[in-house]
Chain A
Amino acid sequence: MSGRRLLEVEDLNVTFATSRGDLRAVQGVSLTLDQGKTLGIVGESGSGKTVLSRAIMGLLPRASTTQTGSVRYDGTEILNAPNADLRKLWSTHIAMVFQDPMTSLNPVQRIGHQITEPLRIHLDVSKSEAKETALSLLMQVGIPSPVERYDAYPGQLSGGMRQRVMIAIALACAPRLLMADEPTTGLDVTVQAQILDLLGQLQHDRDMAMILVTHDLGVVATRTDEIIVMYAGNVVERAPTNVLFKSMAMPYTEALLESMPRIANPSHTRLTAIEGRPPDLLHPPTGCPFAPRCPYAQDKCRSEKPPLLEATPGHSYACWFPLTAGDRRPDPEPSQTVTA
């Protein structure tokens, strides 16, 4: 079964109608995902990665957004599909693990009920069967003494435990595609690795496809098959994971990598930050959206937006002067001093 095309997104655009004008949060994004594979979506806050993942799933509010393009799940078009149709997919085919485990569980319902709810609704199982499944799920996600936790309220669990509960809920109806939207941002560093390892292992056991959304290139480096780098609503680079780390082409990807603190550095090394800010999506720049912050930017970058082109099979990027073209790249301009 592995290798079957599960998800196909083509030229997806998401525009929010705001009081100050149209905000183009996702612009012309295309991607594919095969069964059992993992796709990483990387970008800083406001890059559109969360909106993209919610748009794929169909969770965005319809009233205030315009979504165009195509999202095909297992061959069926699901973009702008009626909610009643989407509800049949949610939980049983596509499920999501949300960003913040502290706020994403219902505070006044017992853990057990929150896990059995999708089971009872979608799979038509009896109360006792649902409870059995829930207990086994709690065990699988590594929650100690599941029988007691089953009757606990979310407030009685730590953040890491709550995220495990969220994963248990998402996995309850054995989905084929798991969307993990920054599943570890709210957690302690020690817990982050545990949760990511758990997700990887469960994905492997169940031959599930996964989309891992994160701002941390380190998270996706060892856990994904392919990576999409997003900036200001655009895909700026897309490549198989090993190719990306070997020959990244887009200065933004490089900047993301360099902004990660390194353990080998001596202590008190100043953290590298990407200077400037992401562009205002209400008034995007005419050229490359990253040009204002790019150390290699030239006049062409500021006036013309580079298209996303496939340079080598599987590796595409949107850049006029890619890093891989070595000799053609000018030396970076001396970086400005950081204020603030």
Chain B
Amino acid sequence: MARYIAKRLVLLIIIIIFVSIATFFLVHLLPGNPATTILGPNSTPQNVATVNKQLGLNKPLWQQYFIWIGHVFQGNLGQSFTTHQTTTSIIAQSFPIDLELIIFSQIIAFAIAFPMAMAAAKRPNRLFDQASNSTTFAMLALPPFVIAPVLVLIFAVHLHVFPGPASYVPITQDFWSNIHTMLLPSIVLALGSIVVYFRLLRNDLISTLQEDFITMARSKGLTDRRIMWRHALRPSSISLLASAGVTIGSLIAGTFIVELLLQMPGLGYQLISSVNQDDYTVVQGITLFVAVAIVLINFIFDFLFTIVDPRIARE
């Protein structure tokens, strides 16, 4: 177990180093020059050269990387050319939105997918199983960028069940209206997860329930409910957990569709707008933050796997 964790930890550090290098150089492939963006219409070749010098952009790229990474280690991710806000403060403001969306949407997804999958797997190919199978199959064909505008149109614009775009309030300011605002985007994001989680868990449960150790559990005189919860569920949730790890990782800054649609200043929203404004320090900072977060989440899930299935740490 300790060995397994140590191995993952070393891997994690190596991955983060590579991620930082990739982030830095990929952002430099973006078209446009920050100096011209900063100077706007007054840019002359001399001005541009001065600004480049000020920003250290005249130095070789590898030197720039080490300067940047040195600052990162001091907690300095640079500042925006357009708003002069520091990147860290942009992240600090917008990341809670993503975090909230991820937590809410995943709670909703698990709360619906688990009981649904268990009910379906209990009687495979019967009415409930077939109904939920075909519903989720249909939903697989609907990507979030289709579902999101439709639901916003119906529930926010027409029915006024949920607040419309640009009504985000931080949770610290007004708890209930924050929750109210967050519900619609969370449901939109949850739908995609429910479909995947339900199908994975249902299939794995059905095959687990045919295992010898389930017959064995029955012969011990256990109730069906206990067999489902105590014996079948845990060995059936590995693929679900793996998929949840990937989903949660991709939701960090991957929520930009709902964020754009509902005008919520989350990480994805900020990232897209700084890309549009050639604000490369912010792009670099957010990308690095997101990448590190994804790597960390994967690390946490690697650890969760070993709790759900102790065989994994022994492999």
Contact = CB atoms under 8 A, between A and B. Distances in A.
* Chain A contact surface mostly: mixed
Nearest to B216: A104
Interface string B220-250: 1111101000010011000000000000000
B311 A153 contact: yes
Contact of A106 (B218, B224, B231, B314): B231
A257 B313 CA distance: 47
Choose among B216, B217, B309 the residue with the greatest number of A CB atoms under 10 Å from its CB.
Answer: B216
Contacts of B314: 155-156
Contact of B222 (A92, A109, A121): A121
Interface string A210-241: 00000000000000000000000000000000
A92 B215 contact: no
Contacts of A96: 216, 219
B213 interface: yes
A89 B311 contact: no
A88 interface: yes
B174 interface: no
Contacts of B309: 107-108
A87 B10 CA distance: 50
28 contacts: A59-B215, A87-B222, A87-B223, A88-B221, A90-B220, A90-B221, A91-B219, A92-B221, A95-B219, A96-B219, A98-B216, A98-B219, A103-B213, A104-B213, A104-B215, A105-B216, A108-B234, A108-B235, A108-B309, A117-B220, A117-B222, A118-B220, A121-B220, A121-B221, A121-B226, A122-B221, A155-B310, A169-B216
Contacts, number: 73
B183 interface: no
Contacts of A91: 219-221
Which bucket holds chain B's interface residue count? Answer: 20 to 34
Given A95-B219, A118-B221, A107 B212 contact: no
A52 to B, nearest CB: 15
B21 interface: no
* Chain B contact surface mostly: helix
Contacts of B218: 59, 90
B219 A90 contact: yes
A57 interface: yes
A100 interface: yes
B299 to A, nearest CB: 22
A6 B213 CA distance: 27
Nearest to A172: B220
Contacts of A87: 221-223
Nearest to A84: B223
Given A91-B219, A105-B216, A166-B216, 4 more contacts: A104-B213, A108-B235, A117-B222, A121-B220
Contact of B215 (A89, A98, A107, A155): A98
Contacts of B231: 106, 109
Closest 10 CB pairs of A and B: A90-B221, A103-B212, A87-B221, A104-B212, A91-B221, A118-B220, A106-B213, A104-B216, A96-B219, A108-B235
Nearest to B238: A108
Choose among B211, B222, B223, B226 the residue with the greatest number of A CB atoms under 10 Å from its CB.
Answer: B222
Interface string B81-107: 000000000000000000000000000
